[in-house]
């Protein structure tokens, strides 16, 4: 068995997750000299870079002292909270980042609560100690208080703390004495984050996330919790409702550095990407060909907001974009549905309008901006909050 650690990096928006992941990658020296190492290499789509915000959770991995550390960078914005909760399933522990000046913020509480509920061990990283007037000791105590209020177990409360500056590229146990690099953090990960628990039996992988390639289509990502998967092998895909489809694995990939690498086989404990299992959805299990056993399924967050997308029928149509017809827009939205997990679309009475549902204004605005840049022209309606009617019986107030 290889030495593996699987960790997710969680925090409130902008507390420095992606900056830290980039430094982890640099530390592991996966970069050859000729590769450019600018800032935030991981936020790799244009909008992520420009807005400095992570939209999709991402898997990377580093090698450190003979151990493979799979790292999952997560988005901090509240629109994508469900994404964080889901990908925590691939991790055995978390790095909880807290800004040394701001301390825990609402999204810190949300993601920490999810991690604690799932029984994950945390290493607290008090980040940005280079900021003037910051208060790292206070931030540390505030995290402790937060954990108490979230009913952390004794073991979870006994968390290690690392202080540092992701931006300056150092982490240490004493914030008043900056170190040279982030090896203190790497050593703490190896020491405190448990190895993946391996169960005996036939292969089982919960499809937890997906990747999309224009050439291959959808790629299932998850952690292999049991058994071994081999390239070319026949497997079962157990759907949420129990129906089973048989597929052959066409390609097996593991994460290496910022990219993926083909593998002939994957062993339990590692995180991998599987090509060839058609028609999968998040929450399905990839399992043994003959005796498939499903894992407990997981959900993708329901949309909370809708917007009407209509073709541009104003006199100025065609001036900004080249894709203007309803067929263009429909095809583009259908393509988006393949990879944008929390998005839904409904046809309307008009062939020129589509009701698009998402997780919030940020989620939908990213799609709109991406389409605009690709050359689509659209008219967009006001965002509408989706109101859910509860099925609880009506409580009528008596007048007497
Ligand atoms: N002063 C200071 N700034 C930092 C540090 N780490 C990150 N930053 C800055 O904080 C901002 C946000 O950093 P990111 O790494 O994008 O934060 P994030 O947590 O990935 O943000 P989301 O993915 O949007 O949730 C950037 O401008 C970083 O340069 C640090 O240690 N010190
Ligand atoms: Mg980020």
* pLDDT tens-digit series, residues 65-78: 899 999 999 998 98
On the question of pLDDT at 394 being above 70, the answer is no
Residue nearest to atom 11 of ligand 1 (CA): 14
> What is residue 368's predicted lDDT score, i.e. its pLDDT?
94
On the question of pLDDT at 395 being above 70, the answer is no
Closest atom of ligand 1 relative to the 11 alpha carbon: 19
> What is residue 396's predicted lDDT score, i.e. its pLDDT?
47
| Ligand 1 pocket check for 53: Cβ under 6 Å | yes
Give the number of the ligand closest to the Cα of residue 362. Answer: 1
- 47 or 198, which is more confident? 198
Contact call for residues 230 and 160 (beta carbons, < 8 A): no
Of 9-13, 83-87, 161-165, 352-356, which gets the smallest average pLDDT? Answer: 83-87
| Ligand 1 pocket check for 74: Cβ under 6 Å | no
On the question of pLDDT at 19 being above 50, the answer is yes
Token pair 């597929």 is found at: 247
Torsion of CA 73, 277, 274, 122, to 10 degrees: 40
Residue nearest to atom 14 of ligand 1 (CA): 16
On the question of pLDDT at 113 being above 90, the answer is yes
Once rounded to an integer, what is the mean pLDDT over residues 231-249?
A: 96
- 388 or 108, which is more confident? 108
Once rounded to an integer, what is the mean pLDDT over residues 19-37?
A: 70
Pocket test for ligand 1, best of 19, 39, 47, 99 (most atoms within 8 A of CB): 19
Once rounded to an integer, what is the mean pLDDT over residues 263-270?
A: 96
- 270 or 386, which is more confident? 270
Contact call for residues 364 and 305 (beta carbons, < 8 A): yes
Q: pTM of the full predicted structure?
A: 0.88
Give the number of the ligand closest to the Cα of residue 166. Answer: 1
Other beta carbons within 10 angstroms of residue 180's beta carbon come to: 9
Q: Cα dist. 242→147, 234, 285, 297, 382 in Å?
A: 37, 18, 10, 11, 39
Distance of CA 184 to the CA centre of its chain: 25
DSSP state of 320: S
Distance between CA atoms of residues 24 and 148, nearest Å:
29
> What is residue 83's predicted lDDT score, i.e. its pLDDT?
86
Token pair 């036939």 is found at: 202
On the question of pLDDT at 249 being above 90, the answer is yes
On the question of pLDDT at 260 being above 50, the answer is yes
Once rounded to an integer, what is the mean pLDDT over residues 268-285?
A: 95
- 215 or 372, which is more confident? 372
Question: How high does pLDDT run on average in the chain?
Answer: 89
Once rounded to an integer, what is the mean pLDDT over residues 103-125?
A: 95
Distance of CA 169 to the CA centre of its chain: 23
Kind and range of the H or E run holding 27? helix 17-27
Percent of the chain surpassing pLDDT 90: 71
Residue nearest to atom 29 of ligand 1 (CA): 167
Cα 149 to middle of ligand 1, angstroms: 27
On the question of pLDDT at 180 being above 50, the answer is yes
| Ligand 1 pocket check for 106: Cβ under 6 Å | no
Once rounded to an integer, what is the mean pLDDT over residues 117-140?
A: 96
Give the number of the ligand closest to the Cα of residue 15. Answer: 1
On the question of pLDDT at 252 being above 80, the answer is yes
> What is residue 390's predicted lDDT score, i.e. its pLDDT?
66
> What is residue 136's predicted lDDT score, i.e. its pLDDT?
97
> What is residue 30's predicted lDDT score, i.e. its pLDDT?
47
Residue nearest to atom 23 of ligand 1 (CA): 54
């Amino acid at each position: 068995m290889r030495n593996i650690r699987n960790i997710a990096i969680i925090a409130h928006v902008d507390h420095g997750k992606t900056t830290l992941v980039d430094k982890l990658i640099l530390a592991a020296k996966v970069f050859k000299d000729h590769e450019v190492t600018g800032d935030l290499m991981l936020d790799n789509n244009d909008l992520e870079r420009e807005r400095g915000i992570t939209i999709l959770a991402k898997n990377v991995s580093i090698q450190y002292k003979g151990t493979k550390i799979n790292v999952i960078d997560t988005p901090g914005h509240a629109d994508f909270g469900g994404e964080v909760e889901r990908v925590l399933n691939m991790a055995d522990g978390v790095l909880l980042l807290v800004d040394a000046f701001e301390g825990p913020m609402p999204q810190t509480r949300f993601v920490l609560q999810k991690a604690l509920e799932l029984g994950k061990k945390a290493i607290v990283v008090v980040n940005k100690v280079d900021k003037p007037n910051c208060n790292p000791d206070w931030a540390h105590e505030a995290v402790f208080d937060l954990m108490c209020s979230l009913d952390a177990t004794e073991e979870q409360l006994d968390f290690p703390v690392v202080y540092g500056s992701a931006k300056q590229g150092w982490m240490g146990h004493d914030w008043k004495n900056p170190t040279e690099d982030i090896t203190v953090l790497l050593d703490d990960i190896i020491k405190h984050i448990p190895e993946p628990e391996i169960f005996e039996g036939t292969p089982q992988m919960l499809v937890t996330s997906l990747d999309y390639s224009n050439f291959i289509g959808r790629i299932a990502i998850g952690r292999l919790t049991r058994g071994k998967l081999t390239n070319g092998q026949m497997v079962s895909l157990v759907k949420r409702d129990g129906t089973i489809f048989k597929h052959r694995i066409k390609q097996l990939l593991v994460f290496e550095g910022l990219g993926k690498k083909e593998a002939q086989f994957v062993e339990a404990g590692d995180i991998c990407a599987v090509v060839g299992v058609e028609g999968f959805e998040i929450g399905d299990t990839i399992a043994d060909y003959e005796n498939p056993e499903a894992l407990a399924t997981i959900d993708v967050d329901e949309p909370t907001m809708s917007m009407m997308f209509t073709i541009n029928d104003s006199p100025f149509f065609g001036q900004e974009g080249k894709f203007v017809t309803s067929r263009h827009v429909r095809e583009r939205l259908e393509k988006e549905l393949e990879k944008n997990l929390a998005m839904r679309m409904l046809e309307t009475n008009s062939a020129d309008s589509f009701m698009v549902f998402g997780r919030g204004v940020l989620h939908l605005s990213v799609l709109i901006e991406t389409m605009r840049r690709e050359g689509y022209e659209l008219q967009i309606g006001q965002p509408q909050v989706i109101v859910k009617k509860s099925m609880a019986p009506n409580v009528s107030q008596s007048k007497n």
